[in-house]
Amino acid sequence: MKISERGQITVPKPLRDRFGLYKNVEIQMISSKEGILIQKQSRGKHPVDLIYGILEKPSDTDTYIEEVRGR
């Protein structure tokens, strides 16, 4: 593997597939004692995690169904 004139590298396809490094995936390069670590950029929390628990949940399914039905 070589670094191009513009500083670009090509990650071999088997590694891209294995680690989910697809087009437009952001990565970060981290310096370590052993060399450079290439890591997918963290996106933060999953959208579901951001809204999980915001609704007041009934204690069980039967109570929920009764509330939804307006009883």
SS3 14: helix
The Cα–Cα gap between 2 and 57 comes to 56
Enumerate the domain spans of the chain. 13-69
Q: What CA–CA distances, in Å, run from 71 to 14, 26, 59, 62, 64? A: 57, 50, 16, 11, 10
pLDDT at 58 over 60: no
Per-residue pLDDT, 57:
62
By residue count, the chain amounts to: 71
pLDDT in tens, 37-57: 988 887 677 777 777 777 766
